[in-house]
Amino acid sequence: MKPEYKPLKELNDKTLKYKTKVKVIHKSSPQQSPNKPPYQRLLFKDDEGFTMKGALFNSDIEKYAEALEHNGEYELSNAMISAVPPQHASKPNEYSIIINARAQISPLTNDATALGPQYQAFATIPRDPFNTELIDVLGVVIYVTAPKAIYRSQGIEDSVREIHLTDHRPILKVDAVHDSGSMALTFFAKEVEYLVGIPCIEMWKLKENDNDEVLAEKMFSLRQKNVNIEIGPTLALSTSRVLNWTVRSVNFE
């Protein structure tokens, strides 16, 4: 069944639950003003030709760098709608779409049919306990906890496990060497950014453009440095009943 999209002209700061189809017709570079948080401007356009401003702030700029591309078409659901302050408005009663954890974004084909599995970065998944929509994710299982019992109403007992995953952000596998021996370690996301010295989104762009020289230089530099790595046991056993260890913190000496 074809989705029923709400046109941009019907959205305002009292609109909570909605679904609209938009095209990103402008995406500025991230900007910084004195005494204000970093921000990025967007401009959306729907099939009826109506436009609405959009904005990203602080860490959401990087989180949604890949989720919203210039000239891309998207199904946008339940993002916060905010009134534009009069001093910044280009017309009366103007509103802006604020992209944050509440927004749900899915890329669309030209015929407005969702592209196969619509994988979302973990950071862009809405933190709404009442959201019942299904979301496609692609991740790597870091570890699985041992079963534990929880009790529902009327004393019904369920057995549950916690599954810890990471999404498709960069992964770095290294052999850490010490006087006492060596250990194979895997770093994810923030630790990779810290060690390599490049944001995840920039690493992805380098790989997409086959620009491996920059990453090779960074890895060569990393091998020349001493690193303090704190590791500790996880709360679960692997399938082979061996205690798993995880990286707690990473710091250069």
pLDDT tens sequence across 214-246: 888 888 888 888 888 887 765 544 444 555 667
**Tokens representing 138?**
């692609």
Tell me, yes or no, whether 26 and 114 share the same domain: yes
139 found inside a domain: no
Does 133 score more than 90 pLDDT? Answer: no
Which pLDDT value is given to residue 178? Answer: 80
**Tokens representing 126?**
């809405």
Which pLDDT value is given to residue 130? Answer: 63
178 found inside a domain: yes
Tell me, yes or no, whether 178 and 243 share the same domain: yes
Which pLDDT value is given to residue 237? Answer: 43
Q: Of 92, 107, 124, at which residue does a domain stop?
A: 124
Tell me, yes or no, whether 15 and 112 share the same domain: yes
How many structural domains are present in the chain?
A: 2
State the residue range of the domain holding 94: 8-124
**Phi, psi dihedral angles at 180 (to 5 degrees):** -85, -10
Q: Is the dihedral of CA 171, 177, 178, 183 positive or negative?
A: positive
Ranges of H-type helices in 45-172: 60-63
User: Is residue 33 within 8 Å of residue 54, measured between CB atoms?
Assistant: no
In this prediction the pTM is 0.47
Q: Of 57, 91, 124, at which residue does a domain stop?
A: 124
